[in-house]
Structure 1
Amino acid sequence: MASSKPETADGYDAEHTIACERTLVTLLRSFGTLKGTLRLIGGLVPRYLTPESPPEVPAHAGTSDVDIVLNLQVLANDDAYADLADQLKNRGFQRHVNNKGNSSSWRWQRRVSEHEVVLVEFLRDADDKLPGGKVASVEGEGVSALAINHAGIVHEWYLEKEITTELLDDGGIATETIRFADVTAFIVLKALAFDDRAENKDAADLVHVLRYAGSINTLAQQFIDRLRANRHRVALDSALSALRRRFCETDGIEAHLRDGPVACAHFAFGRDPALEEERTLEQRYVAGLVGEFIRLIEKALSQAG
């Protein structure tokens, strides 16, 4: 999650997304009995929150990597976790080496073909001892995780789905249960991610889910229900603040000119001057969609107050 992502949808393709899914299932095998503690976030999640069903629901752009949130409390109490680095290596995973020649213990990679590699990133919730953006060993040597603010919400707010896919290295076809961020958790984490690093892909992923995971009234109500339950309130409030700041009219600046709608338009249509009208229409649509999401939430909260 620390690396720069392609700026437009053209930088992603369906075949690599399938390779990411195959890598995910192979990764689950590496964790054995602990696989139920893993939570998937990031760009692969819309594949499951908004299954392709044209023309109503178009295919999501896809992803270039697999982002996994580890449950430190559970893993720290399991003796098998000390062997995780060896288990990963036995499944063909290697430490990622950056362009400076430095290897990482929180970023791993898996070769899926002669010319294709999938990156896997291990993440954890940030806390007072390890703020967001910092990396620390999880338990013992060999594996680390990057701290992400509020990533821990996915241990409570997640969905499950059985997927069937081909294992890597001709391992046959396997069915596994994956656990991934639900809609509210995804909105929170993507809003915060875009607010933090301003990647076009984060804004586009967020808006794709708002567009196609259900009616905007339903998605807003799910968010409202979480606010009323008063769990992870800081995460929810932080996400709302990020959405207002990046997608809504503030300080006299029209909403569609904010960097969130602009990022979505650039992701969808690039920067070709000939597509200026398409970008403008997309910006206005995105601003309206997010604005309505915020309006519904604020209306419900004001009535409750």
Structure 2
Amino acid sequence: MVTEGGHLGEYDPSVRSALLAEAVHVVRAFGFAGAHVVIIGGLVPSLLVPEPGPGLEPHIGTQDLDLCLRVALVEGEVGHYERLEQTLKAAGFRPHPHSSWRWKGGVTHPLTVEFFCPLASGCAAGRLYRPGGVVGGKLSALVLSTGTLIDRDFVEQEVVVELPGGGGRTRQRLRVAGPAAYLAAKVDALRNRLKNKDAYDIVWMVESWPGGQAGLALVIRQSPIHTDPLFQQALVALAQEFADLDAAGARMYARFMSAPGVDLDQSARRASSAVKLLLAELAPARL
């Protein structure tokens, strides 16, 4: 049963700027380590496409901040994790009970920060990782099978925010998952958890990218991970999940967008068509 991320009614677009400000506050607090974390979650679409074209709705937003630690931190000493943990605690964050990879806090708006990392030696995807071994109550990261793609495919975006708690206006450069890595991570998430919003995030970016699917396909082909077998597997999975209106991804999108008077089949068909058009644009380069 879907407990969160099941329907667009759970999200409030008006708090998007407040959540971004909280996210900047966290990344700034990390100092040097902030250069080794990549934003991968629900903040990504609006950071990659801050102003959708005419007739396109802004992204619905998010409820948390997902960060993927880069290899430099994952393969480093446990001291890196300890410094991140100390910073989180100093900023008022505390770990969720029995979930050392999820920390909850926020200055003026509630924010949950979730930590992920690439595959680590001796640790499979879906497991928790911390150099030297996981310790109860100590910061750890959830291993992502697509983490190595994120480590290679990210962009830097500069944002201007009003820091929470009267901290004043600031400019901050954030490392954000590139569109190819983001799609791969979202497809992986869609297949491994019951969260309809994963399908929405995919379809929104596919439809809203400047230049449409052709524009997005061009950027993906230029990505350093485009020919990586792991990314190519993600494209195969994407095709399967949105193969037609009855495919799982298409139905998840329809359920997320459901509302009185909205035909579920029509919504699912829209999702399938949007993704298939992107894949058609990518097909010549993949043959």
What's the TM-score bracket when you normalise by the shorter of the two chains? 0.7 to 0.9
CA contact (8 A) 1:183 1:213 kept: no
Pair 1:263-2:252 in alignment: yes
Within 5 Å, give how 1:84-99 maps onto structure 2. Answer: 84-97=84-97
Q: Distance in 1 between matches of 2:15 and 2:107?
A: 9
One-letter code of the match for 2:208? Y
Give CA deviations for 1:196-220 in whole Å, capped at 9, x if unaligned.
2242100000110000113212222
Pair 1:166-2:153 in alignment: no
Within 5 Å, give how 1:147-296 maps onto structure 2. Answer: 147-214=143-210, 215-226=212-223, 230=227, 233-248=228-243, 255-270=244-259, 272=260, 274-276=261-263, 279-296=264-281
CA contact (8 A) 1:52 1:60 kept: no
Give CA deviations for 1:19-64 in whole Å, capped at 9, x if unaligned.
3212211111221122111100011101111213463432101001
Pick the structure with more helix per residue: 1
Computed over aligned residues only, the root mean square deviation of the Cα atoms, in angstroms, reads 2.4
Q: Structure 1 48/111 Cα, relative in aligned 2: closer, same or farther at 3 Å?
A: closer
CA contact (8 A) 2:186 2:202 kept: yes
Identity among equivalent pairs (%): 27
Give the paired residue count: 281
Give CA deviations for 1:85-133 in whole Å, capped at 9, x if unaligned.
2221111211123xxxx4x3211111344xx521000110124521111
Greater mean deviation of Cα atoms: 200-209 or 181-190: 181-190
TM-score normalised to the size of structure 1? Answer: 0.83
Structure 1, unaligned runs of 5 or more: 249-254
Structure 2, unaligned runs of 5 or more: none
* SS of the residue 1:257 aligns to: coil
Give CA deviations for 1:227-271 in whole Å, capped at 9, x if unaligned.
8963xx2321221121122111xxxxxx1121211211221124x
2:63: which partner in 1?
A: 64
* SS of the residue 2:113 aligns to: strand
Max Rg structure:
1
